[in-house]
Amino acid sequence: MTQPATSSSFSLAGKTALVTGARRGIGAAIAAGLAAAGADLILMARDAALEDTLEAIKENGGGQATVVTADFADPTAVEEAATTAVADAAAAGRQIDILVNNAGTIRRAPAAATGAADWKHVIDVNLNSTWAVTRPIGAAMVQRGGGKIITIASLLSFQGGVTVPAYTASKHAVAGLTKALANEWGPAGVQVNAIAPGYISTDNTTDLRADPEREAAIRDRIPAGRWGRPEDLVGVAVFLASAASDYVNGHVLAVDGGWLAR
């Protein structure tokens, strides 16, 4: 008889996780949470100013943490950094067991006023660089027969939103890519899932929270009665990174305080 999941099923001891966009917000919280569950961390960010995240990892009892820099607006550079990270891990006798694609950006403007440069920047950061990281790391996972990939999607993977056409397009695409890779890589023992955060208090929602009418309208729709915090995503990330989720694949899991239920 198969035993039910226990606390050991959620342990990440002996695992190495690469988290993109780990300098602050959701990425920093998830990195610290994975460390608390026992994982070593590779933090990929636009610059090396990750002192707060590194301190949080240390405070959470995390093991080794290293930093890799890459500009997510340049998918070619991102793929090179990811490929190097795979090679460096192998040279050190390790492997990247968990990938968390968190790096992302948003630019707000009416669709008719959104220029080509803004469109390209958002698509490059949110979609093309997600693919650039995932392909080499996922290929290594497939080759050895196991791994966990988690991408941060959005409520706008399901909805259209307003004044964020590139962001919405990128997050719909991220949800589709999650399902496509789950279909291809699932037979090799690689689970590919996504987390769709609700309205979270991060830099990306500063403008919304600064508008009293918009902030109140959003909060009033959330059954939980509050905006989310980056820490609200940590438990879900640990679950999807651990053996507890070995039969979860191709799923986009909303963590939204009930927003989509309204």
Q: Where are the domains of the chain?
A: 12-253
Count Cβ neighbours within 10 Å for each residue of 6-43 and write b for 16 or more, e otherwise. Answer: eeeebbbeebbbbbbbbbbbbbbbbbbbbbbbbbbbbb
Cα distances from 212 to residues 19, 179, 206, 229, in angstroms, run 33, 37, 12, 19
Pick the CATH number of 12-253 from 3.90.25.10, 3.40.50.720, 3.40.1010.10, 3.40.640.10: 3.40.50.720
Percent of the chain with pLDDT over 70: 97
Nearest Cα to Cα of residue 9 among 261, 239, 218, 173: 239
Average pLDDT for 229-239: 97
Predicted confidence at residue 187, as pLDDT, reads 98
Write out pLDDT tens, residues 170-225.
999 999 999 999 999 999 999 999 999 999 998 888 888 999 999 999 999 999 99
- Output DSSP code: residue 162: S
Does 63 score more than 90 pLDDT? no
Contact call for residues 227 and 246 (beta carbons, < 8 A):
no
* pTM summary value: 0.95
pLDDT confidence of residue 144: 96
Tokens describing residue 54? 């590194």
What's the rounded Cα separation, in Å, for the pair 133 and 124? 12
24 or 114, which is more confident? 114
pLDDT at residue 123 greater than cutoff 50: yes
In the predicted structure, residue 35 carries a pLDDT above the cut 60: yes
Q: Average pLDDT for residues 89-112, to the nearest whole number? A: 96
Q: For a pLDDT cut of 90, what percent of the chain falls above it?
A: 87
The dihedral formed by the CA atoms of 113, 173, 151 and 230, expressed in degrees to the nearest 10 = 30
CA–CA distance from 82 to each of 72, 128, 195 (Å)?
11, 13, 21
Strands (DSSP E) found in 87-240: 98-101, 147-152, 190-197
56 pLDDT band (50/70/90 cuts)? confident
pLDDT at 52 (0 to 100): 87
Residues annotated as part of the active site? 167
Question: Is-contact 228 256, C-beta < 8 A?
Answer: yes
Given phi > 0 = left and psi -120 to 50 = alpha, else beta, which region is 225? left
Average model confidence (pLDDT) for the chain? Answer: 94
Residue 69: per-residue pLDDT: 94
Q: What is the mean pLDDT of residues 18-35?
A: 94
| DSSP class of 71 | -
Structure tokens, 91: 């040279």
What per-residue confidence (pLDDT) applies to 1?
Answer: 46
pLDDT band at 3 (very low <50, low <70, confident <90, very high): low
